[in-house]
Amino acid sequence: MKLKVLLSFVGEQDPYSDKTGEEGAIITLCRHLRPEVIYLFPTAKGFGIKSETQSRALDTEIWIKSEIDKKTQVFINPMHLSDPTDYPAILPATRRLVDKIMRDLSDVDCDFHLNCSSGTPQLKSAWLILANAGLFKNCQLWQVANPQFKKEDRVSILEVTFLEEENLLSRIKRYSEEFLFQRMAEECYRLKDISLYSFRKDKAGLLYRIFQAYQSWDLICYDDAYKRLNSVYNEIRTSADLAELAKILEAQVQILAKLKDNSALENKYNLVDLYMNARRRLKRSDYTDTLSRFWRIYEGILYSHLRNAYKIESSNLVESTNKDRIREIVGYFHPGINKISIKKAEAILSNVFKDKIYCGLGDRYLSAKRNLSSQSIKLSDLLEELRNKRNKSIVAHGMKPVAEDDAINCVKAIEVVIKEFIPSAAMLIEKYPLGLVEIKKVIDVLDKAFTL
């Protein structure tokens, strides 16, 4: 069971009001919360002090123990403030006291409760500022109404959406546009850390785990992504309020199961996923990685086609089952050939096997990006252009950077190739479960926590 800890400044109306005779905010809140531990922060006595409340803190301790619970532990920490309205003095002084308390209670499971109704307006608002800064791991802000205006139900939770929480949510949404999953996860973790409300903490923690899984997926660590995401899915799949999220995660877990179990050789699932990965790299202006992924996808498509259509294993011809086709390849090249490069794969499909798909593909035209305009160009010519660009870039043998236009043309070219060689690719791309639409629906879970 968590230890209930109340932190409060001490005002002129504590423990009771001299004007009305009513109990002040501290006593009223103690009756409502029944905290086991109370830390009081009065302004200390001393020369030059405009307003001291140290004597009222002592009266408050006596009142609590005699009128509420004598077992309550009360600690009085006088603050040496010459002016209890001076923000520059209040904030560091309060921070030092709170830091010490947090260290003392570091091994204790606590719920902190902050009284925002005692002390000067500047002292009371200090709790809001420190809570907004994420100083407290678990806390509730409380306000107590003036008995002159409200006789019953004077205690209420202070519902506040801090600016930093809004900023974090805004950054998560902005990062999603570029699929920056690691940053999204970090912001969720920060939000989980600073939010005062359990429903936001829970949703932020949930999304943190989801975005960590997406980050592993983006790094092509399929097994790790599957384990992380499947763990979240199993936790929420029976939750009525998270039914839509569970549906999204279910589709993602299913595709990850296929990816992790079929990673040794090129297939329609990992090739489509790598294509979508290249699109994400382009979205975040990572042109070098876009080009490198394009080349691997193109290579993988050719090798997959040779394997599926002709029973040829490009990495080791000895393992190929179609011996007649092997003899054709050896006859075209030389007896010692055992591995097939991209260039050789193109030559085999074009000149040896006269493959209809490959031969017809080269004459396809598409619109290539050219600065502020476009150019209609044969796919075969664009592929050769991109090959040359790759060879001269830092991706391969040169030191040239990769231009945005080249990265865009990579994605355009490979989309045509993958859809032509893999008939089901178009449907897999259309139903790909890690798109911007799905990610925004995941974020909606957290977004709704801000409207409750």
**pLDDT tens, residue by residue, 266-280:** 999 999 999 999 999
**Same-domain check for residues 231 and 272:** no
The answer on pLDDT for 160 being more than 70 is no
Q: For residue range 241-258, what is the model confidence (pLDDT) as tens digits? A: 999 999 999 999 999 999
Specify the pLDDT at position 358. 94
**Same-domain check for residues 156 and 186:** no
Q: For residue range 129-155, what is the model confidence (pLDDT) as tens digits? A: 888 776 776 778 888 887 766 667 788
* 349 domain residue, yes or no: yes
Cβ–Cβ under 8 Å, residues 142 and 157? yes
Residues 52, 53, 54: CA angle, nearest 5 degrees: 100
Domain that holds residue 104: 3-160
* 340 domain residue, yes or no: yes
Cβ–Cβ under 8 Å, residues 139 and 112? yes
Residue type, 40: L
Q: How confident is the model at residue 444 (pLDDT cuts 50, 70, 90)?
A: very high
Q: How confident is the model at residue 48 (pLDDT cuts 50, 70, 90)?
A: low
**Same-domain check for residues 55 and 168:** no
> Which three-class secondary structure state does DSSP give residue 112?
strand
What CATH number does the domain containing 46 carry?
3.40.50.10770
Number of domains in the chain: 3
Six-digit token pair at 191?
A: 């939000």
Q: Which residue has the tokens 């995660």?
A: 249
Cβ–Cβ under 8 Å, residues 436 and 176? yes
**Same-domain check for residues 153 and 189:** no
**Same-domain check for residues 286 and 185:** no
The answer on pLDDT for 177 being more than 90 is yes
**Separation in Å, CA 27 to CA 6, 63, 290:** 11, 8, 64
pTM score: 0.73
Q: What single-letter DSSP state applies at residue 82?
A: S
The answer on pLDDT for 430 being more than 90 is yes
Specify the pLDDT at position 387. 92
Instruction: Point out the domain boundary residue: 160, 177, 199.
Output: 160
